[in-house]
Amino acid sequence: LTEILAAHDIPYAAQTTFWGNFKDLHEKSHKAIYTEGPAFLNVLSPCPRGWRYDPADLAEICKLAVNTCVWPLYEIEEGTWKLNYEPRKKVPVVEFLKRQGRFAHMFEPGNEWMIEESQKYVDQQWDKLLNKCR
């Protein structure tokens, strides 16, 4: 969604999450509010009921989303892409998936390929993002 908005050449678009990254959220919110013209913030907001995880794990879900690169933190300002956080060591996507009941089917026998494909997709998207930001 963030890339779609960026493709429309709006002055500011960014992706963040609210838990564990308050500074990032605050800075991007400030930029979005004070940007002249359209601005867009895509904020990860995990839903315990829909995603089927223990609400006590909210912070961990957000952290895993960012550290697996499923939900990278970046912004596009006047067409310039900037990566705001790069994990020191990328966590495998399976760690993000296994904490959520909505992905339980991926862990049934014979469905290992789903996890492998998910990892491949995230890696491809991450590499594309890195190229845009460099």
CA separation, residue 105 to residues 100, 101, 111, 113, 127 (Å): 11, 8, 7, 12, 27
- Average pLDDT of the residues of the chain: 96
Neighbours of 84 (CB within 10 A): 18
Q: Tell me what pLDDT residue 20 has.
A: 74
Element of type H or E holding 13 = strand 12-17
The pLDDT of residue 52 is above 80: yes
Q: Tell me what pLDDT residue 80 has.
A: 98
pLDDT above 70 coverage of the chain, percent:
100
Q: Tell me what pLDDT residue 18 has.
A: 83
Comparing CA positions, the residue from 59, 44, 61, 50 lying closest to residue 2 is 44
Neighbours of 61 (CB within 10 A): 24
> Taking the model in full, what pTM does it have?
0.94
